[in-house]
Structure 1
Amino acid sequence: MTWTVYLSGEIHTDWREQIEAGAKAAGLEVSFSAPVTHHEASDDVGVALLGKEPDKFWHDHKGAQINAIRTRTLIGKADIVVVRFGEKYKQWNAAFDAGYAAALGKPLIIMHQDEHAHALKEVDAAALAVARTPEEVVLILQYVIDGTLAGYTDKEAGR
């Protein structure tokens, strides 16, 4: 079985590429999907495709609706959803994606730094795992996909 993992959240660092490279190095049978990560394209898709809007609210609204077609479809098809909250920006869209995935009953891995633990406590409570690094996410994926605990022998793992 090839697992499908949706990578949601912060778009300003290479965390997605780190997870994808780690999964490949671990030999995991996994395919990844994600939202559009080109910030300007994502923001402006609605007016680029459907015409300009003089009001910023409607400009953003058009884009959000078109982006939601992709996001909802890919989250719906995912076996696992990973949502990263970055250090610098408030990612309301990431919080929405986490809530949407939780409402669909999708296994959810949340990734953020320790300083955001209080602000994200409700999101974390909905997750099945909370990680701090892409490497931890890869270890979780390796365990759930292959059933192997990296770095442990069967005896150390209690088997």
Structure 2
Amino acid sequence: MALKVYLSGEIHTDWRDQIINGARDLDISFDSPVTDHDASDDCGVAILGREDSKFWHDRKGAQINAIRTRRGIEQADVVVVRFGEKYRQWNAAFDAGVASALGKSLIVLHGPEHQHALKEVDAAALAVAEHPEQVVQILRYVLTGALP
């Protein structure tokens, strides 16, 4: 059984690489949003033209990024959403909600400092992990039934 896993959320740490490297021996394909922050922010104006208003600049980028995000979540068997420590990731919470609404298997990844703030998101998830290696162990168990 192969799995398609969409890795959503913060882009400032290497958590995606840790999961992908840890799952190298598993039959999993990974997808994610564009993680180059500048490219993600500026894709709309780079492709569709300059905007004088920051609102429309951001909106163009958000809408183009949404095409990739929607496709990734819709095609995924499992969606992993990481909430980082440094920034509030409203987009990550939105992605978790979309995944939940679509009935996707949702794994939420965050530290204990976010337990209260993310209690509703955590309640929608099938698993809440604190470390990327726990996500790898969940995926390994799902595919093989093997415990760590």
Structure 1 runs not aligned, ≥5 long: 151-159
Structure-1 residue corresponding to 2:10? 10
The 2-side partners of 1:30 and 1:14 are apart by 18
1:2 deviation in Å? 1.8
The letter of the residue matching 2:8 is S
**Can you list the C-alpha shifts for 1:80-121, whole angstroms capped at 9, x where unaligned?**
000000010000110000000000000000000001000000
The letter of the residue matching 1:43 is D
1:134 deviation in Å? 0.4
CA RMSD of aligned residues (A): 0.6
Structure-2 residue corresponding to 1:19? 19
The aligned runs of 1:51-130 (5 Å cut-off) are: 51-130=49-128
1:145 deviation in Å? 1.2
**Corresponding position: 1:132 with 2:135:** no
The 2-side partners of 1:72 and 1:147 are apart by 30
1:56 deviation in Å? 0.6
TM-score (norm 1): 0.92
The 1-side partners of 2:49 and 2:19 are apart by 37
The letter of the residue matching 1:9 is G
1:149 deviation in Å? 1.2
- Does the residue aligned with 2:23 lie in a helix, a strand or coil? helix
- Does the residue aligned with 1:32 lie in a helix, a strand or coil? strand
The number of equivalent residue pairs is: 148
Structure 2 runs not aligned, ≥5 long: none
Q: Rg larger in 1 or in 2? A: 1
Q: Between the two proteins, what is the percent identity of the paired residues?
A: 71
Runs of 4+ in 1 over 2 A off after TM superposition: none
The letter of the residue matching 1:91 is Q
TM-score (norm 2): 0.99
